[in-house]
Chains A and B, each alone.
Chain A
């Protein structure tokens, strides 16, 4: 039995009225990758954010190598040997790579109050080289690097001082396959040095493949700690949801013929710097997938179809010849779009569920003189929120109070209410738990059978393979290749086209 590194004891935390963690206790050992899993809102991130000083602690103790720690902030946590790589961008714009790496720890380069910048840059360059990231230069602004490269910088920042515990919080959802591989490599290295990785992810196959031990949380309660080699994906699902997950996860049919009827044609679409000369057709009742690295331009495809791209060239034409050049035209011609950036582009956070659901349909919910019928609006919102089984108090509740999965349900309820026939879903299940994921897949399958056409843009290769009639792979802003639906498809066949 290996030695205990961190004892988590009786940790409880409230956010205003919500209890995020309730009396959670478990142990984390030295030299292991310890995964923390649970549905959204189960308290995983809350736990690690307290451990790394991002949130203040409330009650309970963290005992690291026999010593109680109460990190006041991230720098304090670093000094105690705990660091974190966060889900979203964790580097600060406007600072150089070296300044980011040594943020909060500049004192080692300071003499008589002056910072020795050349020494700091040299040290940063040495570290970058050691990690194999030679192409990143210490004195460049981080702004010169893309999302993936900035994540690599964060890996250096979080691990160069050999911390005892490194928390990796859902970092992989935002990374391409290539970036993930890089991250796995460093997770292994940390483990081999006898240190500990706390790994948070929604991707169960990834969890099973990369971690040694798995702790499951549900609704802020500790459920169990298991060895990865002793469990299957289904066991984990059951533990996370608290009951058997039944039915098909993805759609199960193969070899169904897709209609020849074209509902939307994209012709020679170019968005400067993002996508170039993209052309394809979308058929009735088809689920068309787009895969690629996150920088491949695939996310811009959705915006281009929805008329939301800046400076777009080329044309997006419906079957009846209508050109789609702006969002209102797209919506009035039955096109729906859910963005990858859910909180900024899909829902208005500080507005009621009712207004969010009804917003695109207000014209249909008012009389000829343009006077709104509030009774109808309320019924509309309640009906579609119920159809999507949004977990809420009532439709007056603000969307900001909902979990990620329920926010996505509100967005989908809006477009189902609008009756859109062409639905563009960008990363529809990003950061969403299994139960809601399954709901979304089933909804997509129903919509397909109703003759609606869906474009699914996703970084999760498994869901593309599981759901799509055709998968288009993108690379460097251009279409790289197309794969038809088949049982034989696997992640490797997609990855080989992506990189």
Chain B
């Protein structure tokens, strides 16, 4: 009897060791994006003889829009959804921001946010009420609103007012981004909604049976994500001053790559970390501008980014949960 007990203790010790190993693996996985960011940054600095450091502010000017918009998609992906309509949301909201800026800048900001929220509501309605998979719904709205953007910009680009363009300053852009991220951080990590989103991503039915109003939250998160990107359109507009037919083009893929580079699990759930989209959008922008500075052509850059994307997906995809993408 005591013999079997001794055996059991040994087993438990072994189990503990293995558990520790598992946890170490998990930690390495969560540190990888940050290590990657630092490595890529130094690598490009080395390759470009420090040019990158000098051009850092310029590179960073690309980060704001991606980081803000990817926060909304981060919420969506945490609950197991996807959103491919972000680029179109950004483009259309930017048109609204530029047009309304002729009257008043605050009105323009509100208009942009409402436009984004409205498209988010359309996504949410078809996803939640009509029960269509989110990636199909958002691909549809992506095409629909891309069409509308092209229609609105056929004659000429839509230009923002002078007051709007005058606002362009690094302080404002950094301030706005930091504020949005800070609010998002509190929302995700210190209110019940963060836990709810993770629960929906990890097991929607069980989440529902724990008293979470899953349908309402899913709808609201799409609206929220649209609204956040609507706000990002304001930042984009003060930076660019106008919108063309390609405004916001490919933002959805950039966001997706950024999130995956940041270690976001594709199927969402409890392993989602708030830092995922922050590190990810920084990594994406550093990679992008680094490759650009080295002198790669755009097709070559896409090729390299595609390979990096694949590698990260291979590392971070939770194969057991992959079928739950909604």
Contact = CB atoms under 8 A, between A and B. Distances in A.
Interface stretch (B64-72, B201-209, B248-256, B300-308): B201-209
Query: Secondary structure at chain B's binding surface: helix, strand, loop or mixed?
Result: helix
Contacts of B205: 344-345
Given A308-B209, A331-B211, A370 B198 contact: no
B191 A346 contact: no
Nearest to B186: A371
A349 B191 contact: no
Interface string B282-326: 000000000000000000000000000000000000100100000
Interface in A354-371: 355-356, 358-360, 362-363, 366, 370-371
A350 B203 contact: yes
A345 B206 contact: yes
A242 B212 CA distance: 41
A141 interface: no
A462 to B, nearest CB: 27
B25 to A, nearest CB: 11
Q: Chain A CB within 10 Å — which of B11, B191, B195 has the most?
A: B195
B18 A339 contact: no
Contacts of A356: 210
Contacts of A350: 202-203, 269-271, 318, 321
A393 interface: yes
A363 B192 contact: yes
Contacts of B199: 348, 351, 355, 359
Nearest to B216: A328
A221 interface: yes
Interface residues of B, number: 33
Interface string A16-43: 1111000000000000000000000000
Contact of A366 (B191, B270, B318): B191
Interface in A222-252: 242
B4 interface: yes
Interface string B146-187: 000000000000000000000000000000000000000010
Nearest to A337: B209
A93 to B, nearest CB: 16
A337 B270 CA distance: 23
Interface string B202-230: 11011111111100000000000000000
A347 interface: yes
Given A17-B15, A344-B203, A221 B4 contact: yes
Contact of B211 (A346, A359, A398): A359
B24 interface: no
A356 B209 CA distance: 11
Contacts of B192: 362-363, 366, 370, 372
A17 to B, nearest CB: 3
Nearest to B206: A348
B22 interface: yes
Contacts of A337: 209
B203 A349 contact: yes
B211 A327 contact: yes
Contacts of B196: 359
Nearest to A308: B209
A134 to B, nearest CB: 37
B8 interface: yes
A348 B203 contact: yes
Contact of A339 (B4, B19, B209, B211): B209
A123 interface: no
A351 B209 contact: no
A387 B211 CA distance: 23
Q: Chain A CB within 10 Å — which of B202, B269, B271 has the most?
A: B202
A498 to B, nearest CB: 27
A16 B21 CA distance: 11
A359 B22 contact: no
A352 interface: yes
B105 to A, nearest CB: 30
A483 B191 CA distance: 48
A170 interface: no
A347 B204 CA distance: 10
B18 A328 contact: no
B195 A362 contact: yes
B206 A344 contact: yes
A219 interface: yes
Contact of A371 (B16, B191, B198): B191
A17 B206 contact: no
Interface string B272-284: 0000000000000
Contacts of A137: none
A242 B7 CA distance: 14
Nearest to B268: A350
A351 B11 contact: no
Contacts of A332: 211
A111 to B, nearest CB: 38
A328 B213 contact: yes
B202 A348 contact: yes
A221 to B, nearest CB: 7
A372 B203 contact: no
B186 A17 contact: no
B206 A219 contact: no
Interface of B: 4, 8, 11, 15-16, 18-19, 21-22, 186, 190-192, 195-196, 198-199, 202-203, 205-213, 269-271, 318, 321
Given A347-B206, A359-B195, A371-B190, 13 more contacts: A17-B22, A219-B11, A330-B211, A332-B211, A339-B209, A349-B203, A350-B202, A351-B198, A351-B203, A355-B195, A358-B195, A359-B196, A372-B190
8 closest Cβ contacts across the A-B interface? A17-B18, A362-B192, A331-B211, A348-B203, A350-B202, A351-B270, A359-B210, A348-B206
